Amino acid sequence: MSQPDIEIYYADICGLCHKAMNFFRSRGLPFTAHEVHWDAEKDDWVDSPTVREMKQRAGEVDFVPQIFIRGQHHIPGWRKLEPMIESGEFDRLLSE
């Protein structure tokens, strides 16, 4: 099975995650979304296979979205993605 072009690890309560997914939708870009959950009381991720996979791929991150393009390019967060969109770098990654 081939790697999805775009994968995003997101939390439902994360506005920037939804902003990223809405951008993908507005461009007609299919993506695979992996939901993770944050435990505010413990100030840590709720352990799950998806959280473990995200940490394996992105490192010990404490924020989402974590975005992967073709399984090789990691974009840590909307604040990194947004300038990549504006500069055209995001489109270049998709076309590689």
- The vertex-36 CA angle with 67 and 25, nearest 5°, equals 45
* Among candidate residues 91, 20, 8, 95, the one with its CA nearest the CA of residue 54: 8
> Tell me: the pLDDT tens digits for 53-88?
999 999 999 999 999 999 889 999 999 999 999 999
- The vertex-37 CA angle with 33 and 41, nearest 5°, equals 165
| Domain range list for the chain | 7-57+71-95
> Tell me: the pLDDT tens digits for 18-59?
999 999 999 999 999 999 999 999 999 999 999 999 999 999
Which fold would CATH assign to domain 7-57+71-95? Glutaredoxin (3.40.30)
pTM: 0.93
